[in-house]
Amino acid sequence: MTRSIPGFDYHRVPAADDVALNVAVAGSGTPIVLLHGFPQTHLMWRHVAADLATDHTVIVPDLRGYGDSDKPDAIAPDTYSKRRMAADIVTSAAALGHDRFALVGHDRGALVALRAGLDHPDAVTHLASLDVLPTLDMWDVLHGADAAVAFHLYLMAQPPGLPEQMIAASADAFFAYFLDRWTKDPAAVPPLVRAAYLDACRESVPSIVADYRASATIDIDHDRVDRAAGNRLAMPVAVLQQDWGAALGFEAAALWSSWAPNLDHRTVDAGHFMAEEDPETVVAVIRDLVRR
């Protein structure tokens, strides 16, 4: 079972709050940081990272609470807030010698990237998001029976105790459900990589739930403050998404443009795990972005 990207060096890098992140690094040139989503680890970037490392310094961490990074107990409401997780990324990049960098996130990692862009505009030069909506907009568009597609959001939003117990009792079935249902091309996540994801998630149930719970609580508070203040992303932004709007009745580009005035929004045919299903398109969009 693999838990590393060939050709990358691995480091334990200090982040915020005495947390250390597991970080893969390779290449040279202007830095690009890649943040993974759920239910995955930094391995989801293996194809994209290897391509980008031919002419960039590529930094690929496991988020706090995931993979081989530290998993602090959620003793405070903000332990797994996207604000804390964004501070992890800025701090760890600086520890590696990079005070400014392009930032790309998928799924949960895209929410961390969005918060980093809002909180640390001097550090994030360019920002890309793969297949997610900003937190406030995500909750706003989920209504009625259509919200069933995101049942996991509601489950993990519940108070501590029951969600962790239920998920831990069927961890492999729970996390595999999303790997299978959200993938258009099953071959994109081969058995060894799939097993690595399941193994990592099985070891991280409390912290994964805490991450999601934060998105239903403190992350909403932080986003509402920014929206009320008119804070928006100052850097060039690229967004890749499936055509969610056709199914749920909203315009994703319009929702994103309210946060990102300098926006390149594209709809793709790949499934949710597009960095594995269509890495060529993802790489091309990132390269276009960092040239802006």
Q: Compute CA distances 226 → 218, 260, 261, whole Å.
A: 13, 13, 15
Task: Give the SS3 label for residue 63.
Answer: coil
Q: Compute CA distances 246 → 72, 107, 239, 256, 276, whole Å.
A: 39, 19, 17, 16, 23
Name which of 283, 238, 282, 284 is nearest 257 in CA terms. Answer: 238
Q: Which residue out of 42, 47, 152, 272 is catalytically annotated?
A: 272
Task: Give the SS3 label for residue 101.
Answer: strand
Residue with tokens 């988020």: 63
Q: Any idea of the CA torsion for 41, 205, 173, 191, to the nearest 10 degrees?
A: 20
Question: Would you say 53 and 26 are in contact if contact means Cβ atoms under 8 Å apart?
Answer: yes
The CA distance from 201 to 194, in Å, is: 11
Q: Which two tokens stand for residue 112?
A: 């961390």
The CA distance from 62 to 21, in Å, is: 6
Question: Would you say 31 and 59 are in contact if contact means Cβ atoms under 8 Å apart?
Answer: yes
- Between the two ends of the chain, the Cα-to-Cα distance in Å is 39
* 107: annotated active-site residue: yes
The CA distance from 129 to 172, in Å, is: 27
* 221: annotated active-site residue: no
Strand partners, 11: 23
Residue with tokens 């991280």: 204
Q: Which residue out of 107, 219, 223, 226 is catalytically annotated?
A: 107
The CA distance from 189 to 184, in Å, is: 10
- Residues serving a catalytic function are 107, 272
